[in-house]
Homo-oligomer: A and B are copies of this chain.
Amino acid sequence: MELLTYSMEKRGSEPVYLYIYECIKNDILSGKILPGEKLPSKRVLAAHLGVAIITIENAYAQLITEGYIQSREKRGYYVSEDMEVLASPEKKAEDDILDKAAVSGKNADIKYDFSVNSIKSDSFPFDTWSRIMRKTMLDHEAGFMEAPDGRGVPKLREAIADYLYKSKGISVSASRIIVGPGTEYLHHLLIQLVGRSCFVAVENPGYKKISRIYETNGVRVLHIPVDEKGMTIDRLKDSNVRLVHLSPSHHFPTGSVMPVHRRGRLLKWAQEQGAYIIEDDYDSEFRFEGRPITTLYSMDHSNVIYMNTFTKTLAPSIRIAYMILPEKLFSKYMDKLSFYSGTVSSFEQYTLAEFIAGGYYERHIRRVRNRYKKCRQEMLTALSESGVLEFITVTEDKAGLQLAISVKPEYEKQAVNLDKRLLEKGIKIVPVTSYCYSEGEKYKNSYLLYYSDMDRDRMKEAFSYIKGLL
């Protein structure tokens, strides 16, 4: 066959292997490459497209996984003969959006992308981090040869405890803090502590990844509706729920904050039920107005597991998250799970400890928060100047990495399939319904606009398109 030729310029910001996978998949679906046809070898295609062999390998692996192509031993890669069994590509694409919260550039020619936060690239303080790393290397040579405690190195846990006290008023012993390589791992530990015979409750709408983690590990999940005061409590009663995941200080994606009386009711329920509440505080650092909100954990040390991560505030490549276990769960942890080895490189733990203790983390958070605040202001101004606010309302702008908007009820009819119609014009926004498990009707005209590095005029252009469609 002719060699497959794809223009690398068109790929936008998605990984190269995904781009190549998409191109080949489209060629198969459109019949440009026929069933049974042999694909070029990985080596040949890599050289032809000027990419690494592993890139082609990854693209082929994904195509194999989804059944588009097959590998025949010692003969190479062939397009599947039996094209009936293919998974629907639409379905798959949708899943991707749901899981990754936001995926950019999958559709060709996205000109205005509001589906992913794109303003983080130069915010990490490399120089300071490098300097601390070099110092850490010299200071902790001995520590390097010791296996880290399963809970994390004491120095980091102390630094986190101090930070929590100073910045959120949380008073906690460093010994009850458990460090892990991301919140996903911490959820794995919680499953091992709480067991699989009960249900976990998650917010609907919410991050679907959380429920996927539990389901993948054999725990049944209840989706609990969220209203303007956060998670509702009625459905928790008379349930077999022993673990609840929520973000009471800033619900994603609606932004609702749970008021104190509902918090009280929730905690009372947890005490009576003997249940634990996972307070996921991941974006609490990005609150732009008013004081930080008091944590649930501060209200109840016995039934609340406080969880947070440095991945969102520092850099996606830093895999350090932590949780505080209530005393009873902590005893159980020491008893059942303290045999596990550490999961985060000590070296990076010492570096982060120094970064926090030296005050650099707080400074970084302040800087990032100001930057987001400015982006938010730019976006609000662009919305206002574009005239689109005649048709939509900004429903949430107090915190987080995105705005939430809703089409006004009087323009509902024109708003059908707004996101899909915008996509045809190269504008990508995220429907809130993509975070709903069911009963998404009330969010059908709600969308998220992630902050971006677009300048105000370009945003105005995009918002004028929205206006034009309504």
Residues on A facing B (Cβ under 8 Å): 52, 54-55, 57-58, 61-62, 64-65, 71, 99-100, 120-121, 124, 126, 129-130, 133-134, 137, 141-148, 154, 157-158, 173-176, 181-182, 184-185, 188, 192, 196, 209, 212-213, 216-218, 311, 315-320, 327, 330-331, 334-337, 339-348
Contact = CB atoms under 8 A, between A and B. Distances in A.
B61 A181 contact: no
B145 A120 contact: yes
A182 B341 CA distance: 8
Contact of A126 (B141, B148, B192): B141
B317 A174 contact: no
Contacts of A175: 54, 57-58, 61
A320 B343 CA distance: 9
B146 A317 contact: yes
Nearest to A147: B316
- Of residues A57, A133, A318, A337, which shows the largest number of chain B Cβ atoms within 10 Å of its Cβ? A57
Contact of A181 (B124, B181, B335): B181
Given A61-B330, A130-B134, 4 more contacts: A144-B315, A182-B341, A317-B346, A345-B345
Contacts of A315: 144-145
Contacts of A343: 181-182, 184-185, 319, 343
Contact of A55 (B58, B154, B192): B154
Contact of A145 (B121, B319, B335, B340): B121
A148 B330 contact: no
A342 B52 CA distance: 21
Contacts of A133: 133, 137
One complex includes copies of this chain to the number of 2
A360 to B, nearest CB: 16
A221 to B, nearest CB: 15
Nearest to A174: B54
Contacts of A327: 71
Contact of A218 (B65, B99, B218): B218
Given A124-B145, A337-B216, A64 B346 contact: no
A339 B124 CA distance: 25
A30 to B, nearest CB: 24
A187 B182 CA distance: 17
A157 B54 contact: yes
Contacts of A319: 148, 181, 341-345
30 contacts: A52-B154, A52-B158, A54-B157, A58-B175, A61-B175, A61-B176, A61-B334, A64-B331, A65-B335, A126-B141, A126-B144, A143-B317, A146-B317, A147-B311, A148-B317, A148-B319, A181-B343, A182-B343, A184-B343, A196-B218, A213-B340, A218-B218, A311-B341, A318-B345, A319-B341, A319-B342, A319-B343, A344-B345, A345-B345, A345-B348
Contacts of A345: 317-320, 344-345, 348
Contact of A137 (B55, B100, B130): B130
A192 B185 CA distance: 13
Contacts of A129: 137
B339 A99 contact: yes
Given A52-B154, A216-B336, A331-B65, A145 B192 contact: no
A145 B121 CA distance: 6
